[in-house]
Chains A and B, each alone.
Chain A
Amino acid sequence: MTRKDLLDIESLSREEIELLLDQAGPFKDLFTRSVKKVPALKGKSVLTLFYEPSTRTLSSFEVAAKRLSADVTNFDVPHSSVVKGETIKDTIDTLQAMRTDYIIVRNKMPGLPQMIARETKACVVNAGDGAHAHPTQALLDGFTFREVFPELTGKKILIVGDILHSRVARSTSTLMRKLGVEVAWLGPGSLVPKHGPKEIERFTNYEEAMRWAPDCIYLLRVQMERQSVQYFPSLREYTKLYGVTPERFKRIADQGTYIMHPGPVNRGVELCDAVMDYDRSLINQQVENGIAARMAVLYWLKPDTPTS
């Protein structure tokens, strides 16, 4: 059971997801040892192609690849806001010439990793494409969630915020549902899509959502730049209606609800300071698990490139 590419969560079966989560476990155990490397990808080359700057995700992939003993190169791409098809095609040709084994790509254009995957023999890992997918984030979320709840079926996760533009919300919702977790969305009506899967409950009111009794609340980062198109009147109003304010935090803590967030956090917007020290906050764990989950992914994929 191997694949060339990891482009989204949709196309993975439950078995494949569970296999990846199972494999992430031993990789995480490795972190506590004095030698944190395994030779699994020795001699393989991993290339990161990030059209959107993201230090967190980029370093997480870099560390993961290095711990598998791969050679990592950052392909320097111009960080222009719109990258046209032409330049991408040139880049793909260049990558082919470089005979890389793995390409980790992040770009604003939904579907771009698919396009690259079709053109190259290397394994392509989607590290985020526009509002489409972020499969490794979903895997690390699933891994983190499963550490807390080994039996996932029937557990409930409430995802809060800008669902419409969030690849994290899409991929993590899909993964959780595939694992038997119930998913609900909460956010302003303008940011909670009407056309998502029917099995997902939609809330626009915090009270109602809390009565649904989620085991975990997953807070999305508020995209400040969205404000210019007025999806909601003001950040203040957003926080008032959908943020984890001190009052709401008290109730969350009383109910023993876990908190997750893909980072980086806008403190005082989606959550108040107190949440950061909450013993049921899984936010730091998510970062650490990101490396293990990404190691599992790289280890699992099999490039179509000739072994030299």
Chain B
Amino acid sequence: MASLLIQNARIACEENDDLTPADVLVENGTITQIGDQLQAPEGAKVIDASNKILMPAMFDTHIHMREPGQEAKETIKSGSEAAINGGVTGVVLMPNTSPAIDSAAMVRTIYDIAKRDARIPVYTSGCITKGREGKELAGIDGMLKLGVKMLTDDGDAVPDLLLLKHAMEYASEFDCFFASHCEVLELSGPRALNEGVVSHRLGIQGTPACSEEICMDRDIRLAHATGARLHIQHVSSKIGMETIRWWKQMGAKVTAEVSPHHLLFNEEDIGDYDTHYKMNPPLRTAEDNKALLEGLKEGVFDIIATDHAPHTPFEKSQDFVNAPNGITGLETSLISLFHYFVKTNEFGWGLIVNRYSAQPRRMMGLDPVPITEGGKADFLLFDPEGQTTFSSDYMQSLSKNTPFLDKTLDGSIDLVVLGDEVLLER
């Protein structure tokens, strides 16, 4: 693609919710002109974007692509196509593959597969401990030398505090940060749902929110004491949100993420053992939804991340306790955030661009990709008047384990451009 002219778009940015009308010209992968009534160069592809919103593409830092080890659920190829379908042009993988990503060799393997199969940049995090077993430190230096920035044993917390302390002290030498999946296993029951009215009704031992909150507090204290940078993954509760707010006020170097599903759903949605609402940390209460939304608006949550967790239909059709935790998110996140929050004026596009595009990139040491002259083309075109039905055909992920399956929401992603390549056009 030599050049691309997008006419009559409304441009979103991270600084505010204003949408600036303009034409945008892309030449050789770079945004060369933004202005009124731009002339299309010879041979340019011209797209009429009337009433549509042009915004920096999203970046998701909490992705499970299951390769290597569980390629029936997802591969780097299918996962990155799912990302494109959801307007996401960069992802950070979680290291809980099989084998786990705990060494330079494993990081190299991921990069090799991504280079071959993915049309978007795929970054990976690395384990804190070997095989995520919580017993010995992983090959930290080797992974960091290959560009890994985030260390996490996601799926589990590091139970041994002394080991975690040593990891934090050791890594303070390097340009990296820790990410914590917060959970005290002794309090967690079968890790199926929140301890509350629904766990009582369904007769399943629940996991109380304090299982997460205690661990969060523990890990932040440790990071604060050792000077390590810490990121808290998928916060699910009000007190968790307040814990982070408090620690930020104390000056701790802590960031945090919230997932769309923890904002949108709560334990009541489980209904009659619907495993599409089974995840870890579990969905909590309507009150928690409210607090998390408030935390997102206030900036207690620095980023939105989906925790895209694909599973096969067979696994999800087991009984509630035995079914695996997690739902997919890459393809539904942006549209559901629009449908439930932007359309209802809970927040505007500025927040989405900031928390789901710019900040996640900064966190990973990358530059944000605003729509600006001289900037790299890395954007999507969103139609607020369109609609999207999340049918199995629509979704590019190998897995379809989402509560949105076959549901229709407002908004559609009509174009995704990365550099001089049109990754998606509808």
Contacts and interface: CB of A to CB of B under 8 A. Distances in A.
Interface stretch (A18-26, A104-112, A201-209, A216-224): A104-112
B425 interface: no
Given A111-B320, A131-B203, A170-B203, 18 more contacts: A85-B317, A86-B318, A89-B317, A109-B321, A110-B202, A110-B273, A111-B319, A112-B319, A115-B273, A115-B319, A132-B204, A170-B200, A193-B200, A195-B195, A195-B197, A195-B199, A195-B200, A196-B197
A132 B203 contact: yes
Counting chain B CB atoms within 10 Å of each CB, the highest count among A86, A167, A195 belongs to: A195
29 contacts: A84-B318, A84-B322, A85-B315, A88-B318, A89-B317, A109-B319, A109-B320, A109-B321, A109-B322, A110-B320, A111-B202, A111-B272, A111-B273, A111-B321, A112-B319, A114-B272, A115-B273, A115-B319, A129-B203, A130-B203, A130-B204, A132-B202, A132-B203, A132-B204, A167-B203, A195-B197, A195-B199, A196-B197, A196-B200
A85 B196 CA distance: 25
Contacts of B321: 109-111
Interface in B106-135: none
Counting chain A CB atoms within 10 Å of each CB, the highest count among B196, B197, B200, B203 belongs to: B203
Nearest to A85: B318
B278 to A, nearest CB: 11
Contacts of A170: 200, 203
A10 interface: yes
A157 interface: no
A133 interface: yes
Contacts of B317: 85, 89
Contact of B204 (A84, A110, A114, A196): A110
A111 B274 CA distance: 10
B203 A114 contact: no
Contacts of B322: 84-85, 109
Contact of B273 (A114, A131, A196): A114
B363 interface: no
A84 B321 CA distance: 10
B237 to A, nearest CB: 15
Interface in A91-132: 109-112, 114-115, 129-132
A193 B206 CA distance: 11
Interface of A: 10, 84-86, 88-89, 109-112, 114-115, 129-133, 167, 170, 193, 195-196
Interface residues of B, number: 20
A88 B317 CA distance: 11
B195 A88 contact: no
Nearest to B321: A109
Interface in B298-336: 315, 317-323
A152 to B, nearest CB: 23
A88 B322 CA distance: 12
B426 interface: no
B407 interface: no
A89 B204 CA distance: 21
Nearest to A118: B272
Interface in B190-243: 195-197, 199-205
Nearest to B315: A85
Interface of B: 195-197, 199-205, 272-273, 315, 317-323
B203 A133 contact: yes
Contacts of A193: 200
Contacts of B318: 84-86, 88
B226 to A, nearest CB: 35
Contacts of A111: 202, 204, 272-273, 319-321
A89 B321 CA distance: 15
A170 B197 CA distance: 12
A109 B273 CA distance: 11
Nearest to B201: A10
Contacts of A86: 318
A111 B204 CA distance: 9
A85 B272 contact: no
B196 A88 contact: no
A10 B202 CA distance: 10
Nearest to A193: B200
Contact of A85 (B195, B197, B202, B323): B323
A89 B200 CA distance: 26
Nearest to A133: B203
A8 to B, nearest CB: 9
A98 B316 CA distance: 26
A111 B196 CA distance: 17
Nearest to A134: B203
Contacts of A195: 195-197, 199-200
B195 to A, nearest CB: 7
Nearest to A174: B201
Nearest to B319: A109
Nearest to B205: A131
Nearest to A107: B319
A86 B322 CA distance: 10
Contacts of B205: 131
A85 B321 CA distance: 10
A195 B196 CA distance: 5
A112 B317 CA distance: 11
Nearest to A116: B319
B366 to A, nearest CB: 41
Contacts of A110: 202-204, 273, 319-321
A267 to B, nearest CB: 27
Contacts of A130: 203-204
Contacts of B196: 195
A114 to B, nearest CB: 6
A236 to B, nearest CB: 26
Shortest 8 CB-CB contacts between residues of A and residues of B: A85-B318, A132-B203, A111-B273, A131-B203, A110-B203, A195-B200, A109-B319, A195-B197
B201 to A, nearest CB: 7
Contacts of B195: 195
A242 B203 CA distance: 23
Contacts of A133: 203
B200 A88 contact: no
